[in-house]
Amino acid sequence: MSLTEAPEETAERKAFYEKIDSNSYTPLWAVLNSIITPEPKSDCVPHVWRFQVAKDYLLEAGGLITAKEAERRVLVLENPGLRGQSRITTSLYAGLQIVMPGEVAPAHRHSQSALRLVLDGEGAHTAVNGERTMMSFGDFVITPPWGWHDHGNSSDEPMIWLDGLDIAVVSLFDASFAEEHGEDEQPITRPLGDSTARFAANMLPYDYERKGLASPIFNYPYDRSREALEKLKSAEDADRCHGFRMRYVNPLDGGWAMPTIAPGLQLLPKGFETAPYRSTDATVFVVMEGQGKSQIGDEVLEWGPKDVFVAPSWKWIKHMPDGEAVFFTYSDRVAQEKLGLWREDRGNQK
Ligand code: GTQ
């Protein structure tokens, strides 16, 4: 008997297990080693989704169903170890959404938080709680829980972005609510750039009272975040595990920008190989710039611009970019930190 091995299943014991099974009992000692493991054990596996393949499928889906009929025309990136569960990691969701010129994805709201990371096209918009934002490459846009949101594309090219949601987190707690707005597009009551002016100028409205847990900043534009990393690169040495990596924060408290999803931006200089790193937050990497390889556990994944790859919890990660590379990253680290669960391992070098 131990934490790692279940006791022998004798005929007598088996008969007992079967007898109690019909009344909804089960013996802990037969399952203990699979429910309380000495270290993280996951069905989530390392995997890469190539953008070119995804874009062809998305354009094909564009001819098959409208955004309105689909509600959201999205291809879910399903982890090969978690098929049928709409998960890219055990706790998080990723999908690639396409909005064709002239289309609207109708207004709705739900308990789940979403992030948008713009990958392809220019000039579509999303609206949240009465405000629109225009979307450009690399912009990180937040849809807070229970906020009305609809998407539209008045440009003349298809727009594709990545959706990251905390669907499995909400499912774990059976706390999902959702409703239709009724109108395709919600009424717009505030000017473009309103939340940027109020919350993203290192100021806050003088008597601002916080509503909800998500950052009130709607859109974190890529140019500004990218420029911050560039400055960091010229000012200090790269972290041996992360290169130059920054987190997107909520200006109200300096914490992560979202209550359940921890977003970041990571720059790996030309020729820089990261030192092996692991943490309990399985992480989604979206390649914004560059190409190269990453070793995750025993697997080596090759990636290029706009590809998405995933590293499971507690697998060693080592990035090997060919030239300079930039990743947008997201994970459930913020949720694990709040629950006192998050751990990292930077290897044995200091
Ligand atoms: O755009 O509101 O990928 O509700 C999945 C669920 C996107 C959205 C997704 C959603 C949305």
CA atoms within 13 A on the CB side of 116: 32
Q: Does 82 fall in a domain?
A: yes
Does residue 113's CB lie within 6 angstroms of at least one atom of ligand 1? no
54 — phi, psi (to 5°)?
-60, -45
Q: Is the CB of 126 under 6 A from ligand 1?
A: no
- Supply the residue whose CA is at minimum distance from atom 4 of ligand 1: 72
Residue 213 lies in a domain: no
**Half-sphere exposure of residue 178, counting CA atoms within 13 Å on the CB side?**
11
* Centre of ligand 1 from the C-alpha of residue 338, in Å: 25
pLDDT confidence of residue 348: 80
**What are the phi and psi torsion angles at 255 (to 5°)?**
-80, -175
Residue 240 located in a structural domain: yes
Tell me how far the alpha carbon of residue 262 lies from the centroid of ligand 1, in angstroms: 18
Q: Residue 268 is part of a domain; what is its CATH number?
A: 2.60.120.10
Same domain, 136 and 166: yes
112 within ligand 1 shell (Cβ under 6 A): no
* Residues 6/8/14/19 CA torsion (nearest 10 deg): -50
Residue 317 located in a structural domain? yes
Q: Which atom of ligand 1 is nearest to the CA of 74?
A: 3
Q: Would you say the CB of residue 95 lies under 6 angstroms from ligand 1?
A: yes
Q: Is 95 helix (H, G, I), strand (E, B) or coil?
A: strand
Same domain, 119 and 148: yes
- Is residue 159 assigned to a domain? yes
What pLDDT sits at residue 113? Answer: 98
* Phi, psi of 172, rounded to the nearest 5 degrees: -55, -35
Which domain covers residue 28, as residue numbers? 1-38
Residues 32 and 53 in one domain: no
Report how far residue 141's alpha carbon sits from residue 90's, in angstroms, rounded to the nearest whole number.
23
Residue by residue, what is the 3-state secondary structure of 268-310?
Answer: ECCCCCCCCEEECCCEEEEEEECCEEEEECCEEEEECCCCEEE
| Domain membership flag for residue 217 | no
Q: pLDDT at position 200, please?
A: 98
Mark whether 64 and 194 lie in a shared domain: yes
pLDDT of residue 1: 53
The token pair that represents 24 in the structure block: 């909804």
Residue from 72, 96, 150, 284 to probe ligand 1 pocket by mutation (most atoms less than 8 Å from CB) = 72
In a domain, 216, yes or no: no
Q: Do 123 and 231 belong together in one domain?
A: no
Q: For residue 109, how far is its CA from the centre of ligand 1 (angstroms)?
A: 9
Q: Is residue 76 domain-shared with residue 22, that is, in the same domain? A: no
Q: Flag whether the pTM goes above 0.95.
A: yes
Per-residue tokens: 61: 């889906």
Nearest of 161, 183, 5, 154 to residue 96 by alpha carbon: 161
Domain boundary pick from 199, 231, 255? 199
Same domain flag for 239 and 313: yes
Residue 225's alpha-carbon distances to 230, 244, 267, 280, 314, in angstroms, are 9, 12, 11, 26, 28
22 and 164 together in one domain: no
Measured between alpha carbons, how far is residue 72 from residues 134, 162, 239, 306 in Å?
18, 12, 39, 21
For residues 62 and 29, state if they share a domain.
no
CA of 163 to the centre of ligand 1 (A): 7
Total count of domains within the chain: 3
94 falls within a domain: yes
Distance from residue 348's CA to the centre of ligand 1 (Å): 41
Q: Is 65 helix (H, G, I), strand (E, B) or coil?
A: coil
Choose the residue to mutate in 74, 169, 284 for probing ligand 1, maximizing ligand atoms within 8 Å of C-beta: 74
Cα 229 to Cα 82, 222, 232, 257: the distances in Å are: 34, 11, 5, 18
- 261 and 326 housed in the same domain: yes
Cα separation values, 140 from 39, 151, 164, 221, Å: 33, 15, 10, 6
Whether residue 140 sits in one domain with residue 191? yes
- Say if residue 30 is in the same domain as residue 52: no
Per-residue pLDDT of the chain (350 residues; tens, 9 = 90+): 578 888 999 999 999 999 999 999 999 999 999 999 999 999 999 999 999 999 999 999 999 999 999 999 999 999 999 999 999 999 999 999 999 999 999 999 999 999 999 999 999 999 999 999 999 999 999 999 999 999 999 999 999 999 999 999 999 999 999 999 999 999 999 999 999 999 999 999 999 999 999 999 999 999 999 999 999 999 999 999 999 999 999 999 999 999 999 999 999 999 999 999 999 999 999 999 999 999 999 999 999 999 999 999 999 999 999 999 999 999 999 999 999 999 999 998 65
Structure tokens at 342: 């998050």
pLDDT on residue 350: 54
What is the 298 CA–ligand 1 centroid distance (Å)? 33
Instruction: Check residue 135 and give its pLDDT.
Output: 97
For CA atoms 270, 276, 277, 283, give the dihedral sign.
Answer: positive
